[in-house]
A and B are shown apart, each in its own frame.
Chain A
Amino acid sequence: MNKIELLAPAGNLEKLKFAYSYGADACYIGGKNYSLRANATNFSLDEIKVATNYAHSINKKIYVTVNIVFHDDDTKEVVSYLKALSDCKVDAIIVSDPVIIDIVNKNNIDLAMHISTQASILNYETANFWKEKGITRIVLARELSKEEIKEIITRTGLEVETFVHGAMCSSYSGRCVLSNYLTNRDANRGGCAQICRWEFDLYDKDLNKIEADTKFTASSKDLMMASYIRDIISSGITSLKVEGRMRSNYYVATVINTYRNMIDDYYDNKLTDDKLNYYIKILNRVANREAKAQFWDKLPGVDEQYYLGRNEVSNQDFLGIVTDYDEESKIVTITERNYFQTGDEVEVFGPNIETFSFTMPDIYDSEGNKVNIARHPEEILKFRLDKKVYKNDIIRTKID
């Protein structure tokens, strides 16, 4: 049985390697141009080549976003860019503008194409329109219910990719240019200023201000579909996509590792309610904003909107990352991220181990001095641990 694909975001080469090692089957990345995260680090063509070779060497896939809405000036060098992506042998490009489909087809460029969520595909007739143009996969709009998704799958036979986790646009994708109008930054070319998260005074039709402690915003809580993972896998969806090319290594590792475990447990018939609740707890802990299932099972209401402004929870769970383990001395070396001390209950997780917890023993600095309190992010620290761990395993606060 083919397992559902777990598709991770990767903002740079390091994040890409983290995502794969923590369980992603595929990653999506953006080039320096033509991607809807114009202000992320993104990948140069040389880096795309390196990333693709790396992915294929470990039997993983890589997709490249070319999903801006093109203006004429943007199309000048895109042919050579697409040919270069083809030469890199990326597994597919993710597009929203038909100009790219036209260029690929007319120039016989060997690239599979997926339609981006930016095109907001909401129905099976639209999906079939793209199928006739040779598209093999569609990334559905995030505004669809499970019944709508199932009907599209049944009536098209296309591979369907859906977002399951991460930030949400409040608008249908592609139909929002608030950023253009309020800040002159082009939302459909990767410059979105996230105006839907801004707060505004609200006025009625007579221009009387609505007096309230909380200002008006269109902001949405994040998306998390973990609680419906069984339904999602059995619905016929091909790929589960996690949002967040600009997120941290810790976030990507935690979210991907958690969904990996959920998916594997499902196929092994081991996904008990207790396990699922534990996974959801982990996902809730790593998030800096509250997350909901959004449109999967109902139309979102007030509980799915976010009214806390820019106040986002700063996550302190990420304590450190393993850089070395000496099997003889059983000494772990880590780079510290957040405060912890001897006696704290912590746990370690990673792609090659079962998550396990332990009480933090004595802690030493790189000179061998006992410190017992870790309070300097990026400091090299050491402690003894009998169980073997691996480079890039992550130490975090214990999650009960």
Chain B
Amino acid sequence: MGNLIVVPSKKGDIKKLLLKDIKGLIIGIKDLSIYELELSIDEVIDIANNTDKDIYIAINKMIHNSDLSLVREVLTKVKNSKIKKVMAYDLGVFNLAKKLDIKKELIISQEHLNASSGSNNFYYENGIEDALITSDLTIDEIKKIKENTKNTIYYTVYGYLPIFYSRRLVLTNYFKYINKDMKSDRYYIYNNNLKYMIIEHNYGTIIYSPLVNLQNKMKDITKIINPIIDLSYTSDIEVLDKFINNELANDEYTGFFDKKTIYKLKDDNNE
């Protein structure tokens, strides 16, 4: 069985995806996820009951007090189901899982906050043994984390990554300001010839990165991390075959894989 874990974008693709040589699927839970496809927990349990592939659920929306009763309900149903792992952004979900004595494996998936060996060790020691690490790490940084932690590490190797998430309805507000109708279900801005998708949801607005594709880098990382292919807002499930068959791609956008970010514009130390 392959090691790819796939986030489907359409319910209709799930059967096809489960026939491929992948490890499993991550499925967003309705009203608790930022993935394009969201299903109810009952639907996901049904999928898990009918496959030998791993099925994970994702609770990666920002969780307010009012969401907690649904989180509790979902976790309670997960407890005795065939769902393999629970992936969550908000630490409150893990607190609830502990209270409810959920024995499932937990994955911390704080897209941009989990960037060091130390943070992963902290989570490991607190019972969260799997971790999705931030997309703005270089391959060298990823290797260091792998060397210095016991966590099972996940990293998104394909997909539009959420790089801005606001509770505001940023597009609705803009169209009101310019007094025009908002007719499209997604919009785009450009910077340096790269295209960034903006989608407004009932819970807020997300801006996505250009399509990250690490197909050509897989030989460097496939033994280090569990690769996630996020098909949200893409229609090309055939790309999966290219990863499975280790095909090389044309020159693709690779994010920070080979490029360090900077943050201090002048050199200045603590002393």
Chain A residues with CB under 8 Å of chain B are: 31-33, 38-39, 42, 44-46, 68-75, 77, 81, 96-99, 101-103, 119-120, 122-130, 132, 143-144, 148, 151-152, 170-172, 174-178, 180-182, 184-186, 188-191, 195-196, 200-207, 210, 212-214, 216-218, 220, 295, 299-302, 304-305, 307
* Distance in angstroms between the alpha carbons of A74 and B184 in the assembled complex: 43
Tell whether B209 is near chain A: CB-to-CB under 8 Å. yes
B178 on the interface (CB 8 Å rule)?
A: yes
| B-chain residues with CB within 8 Å of residue A305 when the two chains form the complex | 168, 170, 173-174, 177
Residues of the A chain whose Cβ atoms lie less than 8 Å from the Cβ of B122:
98-99, 101-102
CA distance A213 to B177 in the complex (A): 10
Q: Are A129 and B188 in contact (CB under 8 A)?
A: no
Rounded to whole angstroms, the CA-CA distance of A97 and B186 in the bound complex is 33
Q: Across the interface, do B266 and A72 meet the contact criterion of CB distance under 8 Å? A: no
Residue on A nearest B108 in the bound complex, by CB: A98
Q: Are B118 and A189 in contact (CB under 8 A)?
A: no
Task: Mark B90-129 against chain A: 1 for CB-CB distance below 8 A, else 0.
Answer: 1111111000000000000011110111110111010000
Task: Sample 12 A-B pairs with CB under 8 A, ordered by A number.
Answer: A39-B266, A73-B141, A103-B118, A151-B65, A176-B165, A177-B136, A181-B255, A184-B261, A191-B264, A205-B187, A212-B180, A302-B177
Closest residue of A by beta carbon distance from B205:
A218
Chain A residues near B170 (CB-CB < 8 A): 170, 218, 305
| CB nearest neighbor in A for B119 | A99
**Is B164 a contact partner of A218 (Cβ separation < 8 A)?**
yes
Pair A302/B113 contact, Cβ less than 8 Å: no
* Beta-carbon contact of B166 and A171 below 8 Å: yes
Cα of A96 to Cα of B116 in the assembled complex, Å: 13
Contacting residue for A184 out of B67, B209, B259, CB 8 A: B259
Across the A-B interface, give the 5 residue pairs with the lowest CB-CB distance, nearest first.
A125-B92, A191-B263, A99-B118, A126-B92, A186-B261
On B, residues with C-beta under 8 Å from A are 62-68, 71, 90-96, 110-113, 115-119, 121-123, 125, 134-137, 141, 144-145, 148, 162-170, 172-174, 176-178, 180, 183-192, 196, 198, 205, 207, 209-210, 255-256, 259, 261-266, 268-271
Question: Is A203's CB under 8 angstroms from B168's CB?
Answer: no
Least Cβ distance of A302 to chain B in Å? 4
Q: Once bound together, how far apart are the Cα atoms of A235 and B169, in whole Å?
A: 27
Q: Are A190 and B264 in contact (CB under 8 A)?
A: yes
A226 to B70: give the CA distance in the assembly, Å. Answer: 35
State the CA gap A45–B178 with chains docked (Å).
50
**Given A72-B144, A172-B62, A218-B164, is A301 in contact with B176 using a C-beta cutoff of 8 Å?**
yes
- The answer to whether B90 and A123 have CB atoms under 8 Å apart is yes
Contact check, B165 vs A175: say whether CB atoms are below 8 A apart: yes
Q: Across the interface, which residues of B come within 8 angstroms of A128, CB to CB? A: 92, 95
Contacts of A217 in B (CB 8 A): 174
Which of B121, B135, B164, B190 has the most CB atoms of chain A within a 10 A radius of its CB? Answer: B164
* Complexed CA–CA distance, A180 and B170 (Å): 20
CB–CB B116/A202 < 8 A:
no
Whether the pair B92, A124 counts as a contact (CB closer than 8 A) is: yes
Q: A151-B65, A186-B261, A203-B190 are in contact. List 13 more A-B contacts (CB 8 A).
A: A38-B264, A69-B113, A98-B119, A123-B92, A171-B164, A177-B135, A196-B164, A200-B189, A216-B187, A220-B168, A301-B176, A302-B176, A305-B173
Residues of B within 8 A of A75 (CB): 116-118
Most buried by B among A74, A123, A148, A205: A123
Check if B189 sits within 8 Å of A180, measured CB to CB.
no
Q: Which residue of B lies closest to A33 (CB)?
A: B270
* A72-B64 contact given A202-B188, A300-B168, CB 8 Å threshold: no
